[in-house]
Amino acid sequence: QVQLVESGGGLVQAGGSPRLSCAASGSISSISAMSWYRQAPGKQRELVARIFTGGPTIYADSVKGRFTISRDNAKNTVSLQMNSLEPEDTAVYYCNAWIATMRSNTYLEVWGQGTLVTVSS
């Protein structure tokens, strides 16, 4: 079994710069893409940022230039540095990763439990 555990959410003032972290644990063989998604109240879950094993990244247009995703392959972690937060960034942020376990070479999609980020104006 593998799991993702997020940390770093909470109440932040507009313009703030919190950092979210996510750690993968369990019987991990390898991790492919790691991502952050978010779901705002009444809206669908959306991709915020993704980082591939070799380092390439993609970002949602709404966060380009403000958010930075990074990963530590040795520690099986992914982080999201968020700068210049706006009230519209209020959402539950979910960590996501494609993980192959020691038991299988098949990559399975794994989700974290989510961490709430509330941006006050």
Distance CA 112, CA 13 (A): 25
How many residues in total does the chain contain?
121
The closest alpha carbon to 108, from 10, 26, 17, belongs to 26
* One-character DSSP codes across 70-96: EEETTTTEEEEEE-S--GGG-EEEEEE
Cβ contacts of 43-46, under 8 Å, gap ≥ 24: 43/91, 45/94
Residue 87 confidence (pLDDT) = 96
pLDDT tens by residue, the chain, 121 residues: 899 999 998 999 999 999 999 999 999 999 999 999 999 999 999 999 999 998 999 999 999 999 999 999 999 999 999 999 999 999 999 999 999 998 888 999 999 999 999 999 9
